[in-house]
Chains A and B, each alone.
Chain A
Amino acid sequence: MSQDEAPVALDIEQLSVVFDTPDGPLSAVNDFALEIRRGECVGVVGESGAGKSQSFLAVMGLLAANARVSGQARLGTEPLIGRSIAELNQFRGVKLSMIFQDPMTSLTPHMTVGEQIAESIIHHLKISADAARARALALLEQVQVTDAPRRLDQYPHELSGGMRQRVMIAIALACDPEVLIADEPTTALDVTIQAQILALLAKLKRERGMAMALITHDLGVVAGIADRVAVMYAGRVVELGTVHEVLKAPKHPYTAALLASMPRIDDTGTGPLPAIGGQPPNPRRLPPGCAFGPRCERVDETCRAARPALAGHDRRVACHHPLERP
């Protein structure tokens, strides 16, 4: 794949996030490592509490005040972890942008759409208000907002959820970022609007050659636009590979079980779904060996004794008994 030669846009190494809580430290992310190259979309998949959002909030410097971060993340050659807010603000919203799940609460209710897009353009690119407004209009058109000139002077509450998410994307794109982090960008939207937004993100990635991290719980969402997929469980990456490798021939029993448990629109079956038993583990009481062990069909003494390392180079899996290709 041509992306192998593309330069690494975001390089995350050994990233860990621990929250200090009244009940003691809570480890949310452990040894997270991921490279995202220019023009590449990596899907980061997992259930609530798997650590997927916290990993990227750490990269953005947006974690809660009680978080401690270790490890490193580099935007090109620029280190991001441990930088001051002022230093981070040279990158955030410029080379490194993020869009969030809820487009209503992420927009400022008392500012017009045009002002919110222009704000970061004026701040970072130091251009006149008129030029910024023209650029905001062009961005709205790029993200396929209908009736864009009128929308510039509207407030967020006047827009539908899908339109608001398009505005969020326009804001994120305002300064031509190299890296876009999309955290569940379509989870709050209807499926029809979700398909439109995903098609838009795929087009923008292709045209702009951005690196993109797409955080989602939905394997169907990554199947449409991701090049590679990282599957997270209990704060760790448990499987990594190309979207074909991970979804068509999963090696980690968790990935395989997750795929099997999802009802599919093209599945005519009517019997019980092969559900994963049990619950995701409590991060305060992780089992000693493999965190997925208690819910895994292949578990044995080895799994209970030692946590499997994320082995392999490009195709990686953290399992003592990975599934083999049939």
Chain B
Amino acid sequence: MTDPLLELRDLRVWFPIGDGLFRAKRNLRAVDGIDLRVAPGEALGIVGESGCGKSTLARAILRLVRTSGGQVVWLGKPIEGWSTSRVRPLRRDMQIVFQDPLASLDPRMTVGEIVAEPLRVHARDLSRAERRERVIDILARVGLPADVVNRYPHEFSGGQCQRIGIARAMVLRPKLLVCDEPVSALDVSIQAQIVNLLQDLKRDFGMTILFVSHNLAVVRRLCDRVLVLYLGKPMELASTDLLYSQPRHPYTQGLLAAVPVPDPDLQPQRLGGALGGELPSPMAPPSGCVFRTRCAHAVAACAAAAPRLQSVETGHEVACDRWREISASGAVA
């Protein structure tokens, strides 16, 4: 791998949770020991069920939540412990697109003001005219005409608002674009437009994308590599091809099997193979492998020690001590 743009070393985000007035605080381990290297220009998908820590991980990378341990390394420099003012210049290179397209735009600002705001913060030497030009350029790039600059967010549909949000994130030409469920709130016909737009932007600007999503089909289409999280821990990390064609972790297998396909010849059978059970409370995660309580292949040893990510082959790691036996038994969900 070339020098990573971003590296995470044993990153942890624990939230202290008060448990009554006189009882000790406990920690909710939202993100618990993530190691990851993200190459420039790569699109990395982060997937898992609600509560798996995928959004928290994305926000920790942008320092929108405080980390509890480990390191975020940006272009070779560990940025842990940096003050807000020292981090601010880095923000220019790391931008985020949020899930709710309308709620993430200030209703009292015009579209032009919204998209220009990052320039006002990070590119203060630009003249008004230059700023305006940059704004109109990027709006055109996301498929919006120049005359939208004087209009307000409520005048636009969800898909158009998401384009505005993407324009705001892209106007600084960031090196890293974090997308937190960017198409989840959109209608199916609009989802495809936004997925295509992100693909085009990635190709044209060569930026790195962290794509947080519960939509595994969209991730397959858009991402080069995928990290599967469960209760804050990594389950599997692989190139998109390998993850979808040869998932090794029983959780990944269950997750993929649960995604409905619009084919009446296939889908009724797929429903029968659904992963049972529910996410355990993150306040009381199972000992050993956190997935074992829902795993059809769990044995006594799984309760003893938490499996670490181990290499299956180049570009494919899985956090399951039994993956060889499971693969050999041909048990694919």
- A contact set with B: CB distance below 8 Å: 47-48, 160-163, 190-196, 198-199, 202, 217-226, 243-244, 247-248, 257-259, 261-270, 272-277, 279-280
Contact = CB atoms under 8 A, between A and B. Distances in A.
Contacts of A272: 196, 199-200
Given A224-B260, A261-B192, A279-B159, 4 more contacts: A47-B187, A199-B274, A217-B188, A280-B189
Q: How large is the interface on B (under 10, 10 to 19, 20 to 34, 35 or more residues)?
A: 35 or more
B285 to A, nearest CB: 15
B278 interface: yes
A192 B260 contact: no
A192 B195 contact: no
Contacts of B214: 190-191
Contacts of A218: 188, 260
Interface of B: 49-50, 157, 159-160, 187-193, 195-196, 199-200, 214-218, 220-221, 241, 244-245, 254-268, 270-272, 274-276, 278-279
A257 B220 contact: no
A231 B193 CA distance: 21
A91 B200 CA distance: 53
A53 B157 CA distance: 19
Q: Which residue, of B160, B265, B278, has the highest number of chain A Cβ atoms within 10 A?
A: B278
Nearest to B262: A219
Contacts of A217: 187-188
A247 B263 CA distance: 7
Interface pairs A-B: 8 shortest CB-CB: A220-B260, A195-B274, A275-B192, A219-B262, A223-B267, A261-B192, A273-B192, A224-B267
B163 to A, nearest CB: 11
Contacts of B256: 265
A324 B245 CA distance: 33
A274 B221 CA distance: 12
Contacts of A219: 188, 262
A74 to B, nearest CB: 29
Nearest to A160: B278
B276 A243 contact: no
A202 B271 contact: yes
A290 to B, nearest CB: 16
Nearest to A47: B187
Contacts of A194: 258, 260
A98 B200 CA distance: 43
Contacts of B263: 223, 247-248
B217 A258 contact: no
A221 B261 contact: no
B217 A223 contact: no
Contacts of A160: 278-279
Q: Which residue, of B159, B190, B216, B267, has the highest number of chain A Cβ atoms within 10 A?
A: B267
A187 B262 CA distance: 16
Given A47-B188, A48-B187, A258-B188, A195 B218 contact: no
A161 B244 CA distance: 27
B189 A258 contact: yes
B255 to A, nearest CB: 6
A193 B49 CA distance: 9
Nearest to B196: A272
Contact of B271 (A162, A198, A266): A198
A232 B231 CA distance: 39
A162 B279 CA distance: 10
A262 B262 contact: yes
A224 B199 contact: no
Contact of A193 (B159, B221, B278): B278
Contacts of B244: 265, 268
Contacts of A198: 260, 271
A135 to B, nearest CB: 25
A220 to B, nearest CB: 3
